[in-house]
Structure 1
Amino acid sequence: MLFRLGLRAGEVAALGLDDIDWRLGEITVWGKGNRRDRMPLPADVGEKIVAYLRNGRPAAAQGRTVFVRAQAPYRALSTGAVTTAVASAGRRAGIGVVHAHRLRHSAATAMLRGGGSLSDIGQALRHVRPLTTAIYAKVDTEALRALARPWPGEAA
Structure 2
Amino acid sequence: MILERGIKDASASRYIELMRPFLQTKVLPDGLALDLRSLTAADVISFVVTSCPRLSPGTAGLTVSALRSLLGFLYVDGTIDRSLVSAVPTVPGRRLTGLPKGLASDQVQRLLASCDTSTRSGCRDFAVLTMLVRLGLRAGEVAKLQLEHIDWRGGEIVIAHSKGNRTERLPLPADVGEAIAAYLHHGRPASTQGRTVFARITAPHHALTTGAVTQIVRHAGERCGFERIHAHRLRHTAATLMLRGGASLPEIGQLLRHRNAITTSIYAKVDRDALRSIARAWPGDVA
Is TM (by shorter chain) over 0.5? yes
Size of the aligned set, in residue pairs, is 156
Letter in structure 2 aligned against 1:76: A
Identity %: 66
Residue 153 of structure 1: how far off its partner (Å)? 2.6
Pairing partner for 1:16 from 136, 146, 150 = 146
The one-letter code of the counterpart of 2:188 is R
Deviations along 1:100-136, one digit per CA (max 9) or x if unpaired, are 1111111111111111111111111111111111111
State which of 94, 105, 112 in structure 1 corresponds to 2:236. 105
Tell me how far apart the structure 2 counterparts of residues 48 and 153 of structure 1 sit (CA, whole Å).
55
1:85 aligns with 2:246: no
Aligned positions of 1:1-156 closer than 5 A: 1-30=131-160, 31-156=162-287
- What TM-score does the superposition give when structure 1 sets the normalisation length? 0.94
Higher alpha-carbon Rg:
2
Q: Which runs of 4+ in 1 moved over 4 A?
A: none
Q: What SS does the aligned partner of 1:4 have?
A: helix
* Higher relative strand content: 1
User: Which blocks of at least 5 consecutive residues in structure 2 are unaligned?
Assistant: 1-130
C-alpha distance in structure 1 between counterparts of 2:171 and 2:248, whole Å: 19
User: Please, what is the CA RMSD of the aligned residues?
Assistant: 1.2
Shift of 1:97: 2.5
Which has the higher relative contact order, 1 or 2, with Cα contacts under 8 A spaced 6 or more apart?
1
Normalised TM-score (structure 2): 0.53
Q: Which has the higher helix share?
A: 2
